[in-house]
Each structure stands twice: as C-alpha cells, then as structure tokens.
Structure 1
Amino acid sequence: MNEQPRWLEDDEQELWQLILAATRKLDRGMENTLQAGGELSMPEFAVLATLSDAQDTQMRLRELCNYLEWDRSRTSHQVTRMERRGLVTKCKSEGDARGVMVKLTDEGARRLEASAPDHVESVRRLVFDHLKPEDIPSLRRFLQGIVDVNNVPGYGEC
C-alpha cells in the first residue's frame, strides 16, 4: 500500500456513501424477503443457490468459501448449521480425504425453489426496475472491476 493515504475527493466520498447505503438496502431487502417467507436466511440462500448451479449440485467446501468470499470458519459453521436442518450434506472428498464436499439435499432444493419467486421479485424491484438497458455494460464493467481487485490489505483467500 501507499505510504500516504489517497484520501477521497468530495464527489468520491459522496459516491462511496451512496454505494454503502445501496449495499445496506440490498442486504436488508433481500434478508427481509427471505425471512418473510420463513424458509431461509440470506446466507442459507447464498449457499443453496451456489450449490444448485454447481456440477452435480455439490462442491468442495474450500471452493464454496472462495466463491462466496467468506472465510473458512464462517463457511464451515454455516454449512454445519444447514446440515443440521437437512438443507445440505457434508462428506469427505473421494479424491482427497482431507477435502470436504458439500451437497444440496432435496429439502434444500425445495426450500430454494420455494424462496426463488419472492427473491427474484425483490431483485427486480431493488435493482432492475431502476436500471436502463444501456447502463448495464458500464455498471457491469464497474462491478467486475471491484470483483477483480485482489490487492486490498488484509484480504486473502479462504
């Protein structure tokens, strides 16, 4: 990192505060939607949606935590809680006994499917109803730039 802080200009600070407010609104809106259905929390939905898109609806715990950008402890605890609820199963990896595979269960798939309509409606209302099609490429570039950053102090892999 730089020796001298690169302080934000006023317009950058204003944009940063808007990004934080929008992120909080998205997080709260999505969590409230899922809680209203009584089926899942946002972290549970994130795990189930990730597994549902994975090959054979399963993936290594390490890959899951990398994909979700969670640390290993958080991912492991979340998966253990979900296993107790019958949403996922854990087992040793066939190719590597040290590795843990996480698999979506039928009950997890059922709850994900039940939650998806309200979830997608909230996504539409919070994001896409306010976005012009011509703005999508710029926003995509901006967000991909954030995702691609890997030189932040204290940031590391799962």
Structure 2
Amino acid sequence: MEKATWLSADEQSVWRSILRVNAALYDGLERDLRSRCGISLVEYGILVHLSEAEDRRLRMRALADSVIVSKSRLSHQVARLERDGYVRREHCDDDRRGLWAVLTDDGAELLERAAPGHATKVRELLFDRLNAVQLVQLGSVVTALEGDTSAGTGRNPA
C-alpha cells in the first residue's frame, strides 16, 4: 500500500475551490453555448480546432488529442455535428482506417456566430474578475501545471 502525503487544511481548501471553480466555469460556458447556439462546450471546441487547422480538417486521432474528451465521446460529438451539417467525415486516402473531420461552411458560420458571445462569457466568468497581477499569477500556475503531463492528459481545451 502506498503511503499518502495528506493535504494540509489550506491545500485541501484550495483544491476543493479549484474543483468548484472548474465546474462553475464549465457549467456557465456550457449553458451559455447551449442556450445561444444549441451546441455544447465540447462541440464548440471541436469547431474551434477544425477552424484553426489547415484546410479546416484534422484526422480524428489528432482532433481527439486536441480536445479533452475520450475517443468514444469525440466520435459521438462529431456524429452529432455531422448530422447537423457542421462537420463531415472523410476517409483518408493514405490510411484506410483513418478519418478526417472537416469543418463545413455551415460549421464555420455557426462558429462565427458563437465565438463573440463565448469570448464575452469567458471574460465575464473569469478575466473580468482578475486584476493584472492575478492574471499573471494565474498564467504562471497554468504554465506550471501544463508542463506536468502527469497532472492530466496534456490536451488543450478550446
């Protein structure tokens, strides 16, 4: 049995606060996107990553590495976006098992409509609550955590 190094009371308090803040940010952004655009935060992230990719297309495997969801959830989300005409899947010529996810013109238009409100909501929920010093400190914490791949998947959300 591994010996635990327990969190101090201060560490436990901070840890629980991080979990609450993360949940509140995710829930607030999710509700906003669903109410304004009818898409989830994960679907928004998929559209963003495709819009930033060369020719607005990514291999499904690369897309899975770009968003913080399981491959099966990604497949489900892409299928929903495909059903609604925002993304299409294409077979890879050089790999019979591989698939491309491609952002359609309708998907790009949806993203163009969704992005300004999403940026406003991110600012409202996070950045407007921080002063310049806190923003630098938060950036330092995030950088430190991103550098430690054992802390998570190493994937970047949109």
Structure 2 stretches of 5 or more lacking a match? none
Deviation digits for residues 63-106 of structure 1 (CA, Å, limit 9, x no counterpart): 11111122211111111111111110101123322211101011
Distance, in Å, in 1 between the alignment partners of 2:94 and 2:139 is: 37
Q: For 1:98, what is the secondary structure of its paired residue?
A: strand
Q: For 2:58, what is the secondary structure of its paired residue?
A: strand
TM-score, length-scaled by structure 1:
0.88
Check if 1:37 corresponds to 2:66: no
Find the counterpart in structure 2 of residue 101 from structure 1: 100
Aligned pairs for 1:1-158 within 5 A: 3-151=2-150
In structure 2, the CA distance between the partners of 1:151 and 1:124, relative to structure 1 (3 Å rule), is: closer
Give 1:35 deviation, angstroms: 1.7
Distance, in Å, in 1 between the alignment partners of 2:93 and 2:132 is: 45
Give 1:156 deviation, angstroms: 9.5
- Native 8 Å contact 2:42 2:67 kept in 1: no
TM-score, length-scaled by structure 2:
0.88
Structure 1 stretches of 5 or more lacking a match? none
> What is the CA RMSD across the aligned residues, in angstroms?
2.1
Distance, in Å, in 2 between the alignment partners of 1:156 and 1:99 is: 23
- Native 8 Å contact 1:40 1:115 kept in 2: no
Amino acid at match of 1:127: L
- Native 8 Å contact 2:30 2:40 kept in 1: yes
Deviation digits for residues 18-72 of structure 1 (CA, Å, limit 9, x no counterpart): 1111111111110111122143221211110111111111111111111112221
Q: For 1:151, what is the secondary structure of its paired residue?
A: helix
Q: How many residues align?
A: 155
- Native 8 Å contact 2:89 2:102 kept in 1: yes
